[in-house]
């Protein structure tokens, strides 16, 4: 697979902005498609969809090597971090300094973990340590879940320890009483040991990283039933194009950008949900964003993604799973969303009729409910129905079914290939020239990348925000240059990384130039991947460039 991608990418490069971009890697700008979720037998890992949803919702971080390691033990640091992000906790990084080993925690994690400390979730050990890299025991994990639910009025009851053959009210430490809430709510379940025997709780046992996320999924479902209902989302139509839109990922900075500039957006595409092979949904709808949408009456589409190649095949070729998915999406619309955005990537070419059929099934169910069906699709400049990257997208058929089609015109140069413009202007124009021949132009959104890639001399590129790349260049005293294809770029030696890096990204001018394509091609609008990565100085131009 990697060799095939390399050869295809090399040919594309030599042909100068050829028909197929490099792999989009799950909406680009972050490695959320973990390479170890496909097993040696070609099947997907049993928890892959939940892992994918948690990555899309910014609960789980991208990995530099592209691996999640689902069957490794989860550490105290990671489980507490994931729980804190679900709860949207942030605090002063100095809060945790009382722990003797606080300095061993990566700086980027300290704000969320400090929030967990301030809220009483994390209390540490009697010797004053947190032991972040230790395996978290099942008892510690359950206690953290229980403490999180205590804030909603739940109370621990020691009588639940009699459910297990290896626990009793007398044998369990007093600090673990909140763990019984997780048991009572069915979030933590026992381990079977044989017929006619009590389950084992295994308090000192450990949990895999995949199992931990499944537990957190159950926690979110239970918690969601107990939280107050968010303000009702608007259900009115969008109005007349052109529209300025953005994909929203629920990070702290993303939320800060939403509250600061979200009023200028006509439409938000909310990420964080994934389709499971059986047609049910996994993921989280964050409380703060849902509250903001309702309070500001902002039209929102719920993105539902699926990036695992094996899961896509299993799901799309199963009529029962597709039927369940339609029911799941109808139920999701009850949250008040204006519609759904389906983002299916890594589709084998032979799944083309199945994907089109699924979109038709969703459209039929949502149309009678006055809900929009929109798609995020990979960019191409010709049909190529047998191509393993873009062949499954039948632009003409999908354009007839969908209300809007968001074309991901980015990642032409991707993190695993050579350095170069992420969305060269000549290629984007060629994509749009082809797209408007297949899809009514007033249904098309052009995708705009607001992320940067930094390519090292050796190794895979990493993604960061465009504003972060600008900040880095200024700190190094480097003046970025304007590439003929519109983007800024620079090369610099990074002492902390020990090698030279080449960066490409869109500044305010490059973003405005891409937005201008909306008028040039009479499109429905422009959509940014992703909100919060763009330079702040781009917003004055964004406000007027779309009109």
Is a pLDDT exceeding 70 seen at residue 382?
yes
The DSSP annotation for 69-93 comes to -TTSBPBHHHHHHHHHHHTT----G
C-alpha span between 160 and 169 (Å, rounded): 8
C-alpha span between 143 and 152 (Å, rounded): 15
Is a pLDDT exceeding 50 seen at residue 14?
no
Host H or E run for residue 62: none
SS3 428: helix
CATH superfamily of 2-30+233-450+507-545: Glycosidases (3.20.20.80)
Taking alpha carbons only, the member of 531, 524, 422 closest to residue 546 is 524
- 8 Å CB contact between 15 and 385: no
Range scoring the smallest mean pLDDT among 43-52, 96-105, 203-212: 96-105
Confidence band, pLDDT 50/70/90 cuts, at residue 15:
very low
Is a pLDDT exceeding 80 seen at residue 3?
no
Question: 477-491: buried (b, 16+ CB within 10 Å) or exposed (e) per residue?
Answer: eeebeeeebbbbbbe
What digits encode the pLDDT tens for the residues 472-527? Answer: 999 999 999 999 999 999 999 999 899 999 999 999 999 999 999 999 999 999 99
Q: What is the mean pLDDT of the chain?
A: 92
pLDDT of residue 64: 80
> What are the counts of helices (DSSP H) followed by strands (DSSP E) for the chain?
18, 14
Give 110's contacts (C-beta < 8 A, 6+ positions apart).
93, 96, 102
pLDDT of residue 27: 59
What digits encode the pLDDT tens for the residues 312-322? Answer: 999 999 999 99
Cite the beta strand spans of 310-436 per DSSP E.
Answer: 339-344, 372-378, 404-408
- Strand partners for 490: 503
Is a pLDDT exceeding 50 seen at residue 24?
no
Host H or E run for residue 3: helix 2-14
Confidence band, pLDDT 50/70/90 cuts, at residue 331:
very high
Predicted TM-score (pTM) of the model is 0.93
Burial group, residue 412, by CB count within 10 angstroms (0-12, 13-18, 19+): buried
Q: Strand order in 462-465's β-sheet?
A: 462-465, 451-456, 499-505, 488-494, 481-482
SS3 257: helix
| Residue ranges per structural domain of the chain | 2-30+233-450+507-545, 48-226
Between CA 193 and CA 200, with CA 194 as vertex, the angle to 5 degrees is 25
């Amino acid at each position: 697979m990697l060799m095939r991608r390399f050869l295809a990418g090399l040919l594309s490069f030599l042909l100068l902005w050829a028909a197929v971009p490099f792999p989009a890697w799950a909406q680009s700008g972050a490695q959320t498609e973990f390479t170890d979720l496909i097993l040696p037998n070609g099947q997907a890992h049993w928890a892959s969809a939940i892992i994918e949803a948690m990555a899309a919702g910014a609960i789980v971080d991208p990995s530099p090597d592209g691996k999640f390691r689902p069957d490794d033990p989860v550490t105290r640091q990671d489980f507490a971090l994931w729980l804190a992000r679900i709860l949207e906790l942030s605090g002063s990084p100095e809060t945790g300094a009382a722990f003797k080993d606080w300095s061993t925690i990566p700086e980027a994690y300290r704000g969320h973990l400090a929030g967990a400390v301030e809220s009483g979730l994390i209390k540490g050990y009697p010797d004053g340590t947190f032991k972040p890299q230790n395996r978290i025991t099942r008892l510690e994990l359950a206690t953290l879940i229980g403490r999180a639910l205590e804030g909603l009025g739940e109370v621990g009851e020691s009588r639940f320890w009699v459910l297990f053959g290896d626990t009793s009210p007398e044998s369990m430490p007093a600090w673990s009483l909140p763990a019984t809430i997780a048991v009572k709510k069915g979030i933590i379940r026992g381990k079977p040991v044989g017929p006619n025997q009590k389950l084992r709780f295994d308090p000192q046992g450990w949990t895999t990283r995949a199992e931990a996320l499944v537990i957190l999924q159950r926690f979110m479902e239970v918690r969601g039933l107990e939280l107050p209902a968010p303000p009702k989302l608007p259900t009115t139509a969008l109005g007349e194009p052109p529209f300025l839109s953005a994909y929203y990922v629920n990070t702290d900075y993303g939320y800060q950008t939403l509250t600061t500039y979200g009023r200028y957006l006509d439409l938000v595409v909310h990420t964080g949900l994934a389709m499971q092979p059986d047609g049910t949904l996994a993921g989280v709808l964050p409380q703060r964003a849902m509250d903001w949408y309702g309070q500001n009456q902002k039209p929102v589409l719920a993105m539902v993604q699926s990036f695992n190649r094996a899961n896509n095949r299993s799901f799309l070729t199963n009529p029962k799973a597709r039927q369940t998915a339609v029911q799941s999406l109808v139920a999701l619309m009850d949250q008040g969303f204006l519609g759904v955005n389906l983002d299916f990537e890594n589709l084998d070419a032979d799944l083309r009729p199945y994907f089109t059929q699924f979109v038709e099934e969703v459209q039929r169910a949502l149309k009678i409910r006055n809900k929009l069906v929109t798609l995020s699709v990979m960019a191409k400049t010709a049909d190529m129905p047998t191509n393993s990257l873009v062949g499954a997208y039948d632009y003409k058929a999908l354009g007839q079914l969908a209300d809007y089609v968001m074309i991901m015109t980015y990642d032409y140069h991707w993190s695993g290939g050579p350095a170069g413009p992420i969305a060269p202007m000549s290629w984007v124009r060629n994509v749009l020239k082809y797209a408007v021949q297949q899809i009514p132009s007033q249904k098309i959104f052009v995708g705009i990348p607001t992320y940067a890639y930094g390519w090292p001399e050796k190794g895979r590129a990493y993604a960061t925000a465009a504003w972060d790349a600008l900040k880095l260049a200024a700190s190094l005293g480097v003046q970025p240059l304007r590439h003929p294809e519109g983007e800024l770029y620079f090369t610099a030696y990074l002492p902390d990384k020990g090698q030279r890096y080449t960066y490409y990204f869109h500044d305010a001018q490059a973003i405005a130039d891409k937005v201008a394509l909306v008028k040039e091609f009479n499109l429905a609008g422009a959509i940014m991947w992703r909100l919060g990565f763009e330079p702040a100085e781009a917003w004055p131009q964004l406000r007027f460039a779309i009109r």
